[in-house]
Amino acid sequence: MKNLVLIGMPGSGKSTVGVLCAKALGMPFMDTDLVMQARCGQLLQQLVDELGTEGFLYKEEECILGIDYRNTVIATGGSVALEERAMAHLKRNSVVFYLKLPCEELERRLSNMSTRGIAMGPGETLRSLYNHRAPYYEKNADITIDADGQTLEETVQAVVAAWKAL
């Protein structure tokens, strides 16, 4: 059985929605950020600080290429959609859901940008990150869930309904 993979910007709710979808669907849950932290023995922010953006993306891609799950809800890091080999690996046996939110809502949700472990370069803003990444999310998504104005429960229901309709 295929995996249900969640992609989207930091703060879009991938991990929270993923846990709740896994419970609703009776599937295991896996968060690639947590797997990466466990494998590297460091927090994401420490990895970004130590490796820089490019090094972080390389390490994240390595982590994704090393996972092999079936019938699992997988929440990915916000930058995974930028990594072509990682996305190809995930898409081999998954349906990819993009949790789409406007940048203004993400700005409201993210108060911890400097400690969250977001792969962004010096001087980069959430807006520039959003503008750069949005086309990658759109390109890699099998299903887009427009979560703007939705409660957490409504977003979970939308993902679960779309999954069951497959």
68-122: per-residue pLDDT in tens?
Answer: 999 999 999 999 999 999 999 999 999 999 999 999 999 998 877 677 778 888 8
Instruction: Name the residue ranges covered by the structural domains of the chain.
Output: 3-155
Q: Does domain 3-155 have CATH number 3.40.50.720?
A: no
Which residues does 107 contact at the CB level (< 8 Å), separation at least 6? 126, 127
How far, in Å, CA of 101 to CA of 146, rounded?
6
Kindly indicate the confidence band of residue 127, based on its pLDDT and cuts at 50, 70 and 90: very high
How far, in Å, CA of 59 to CA of 62, rounded?
5
How far, in Å, CA of 21 to CA of 13, rounded?
12
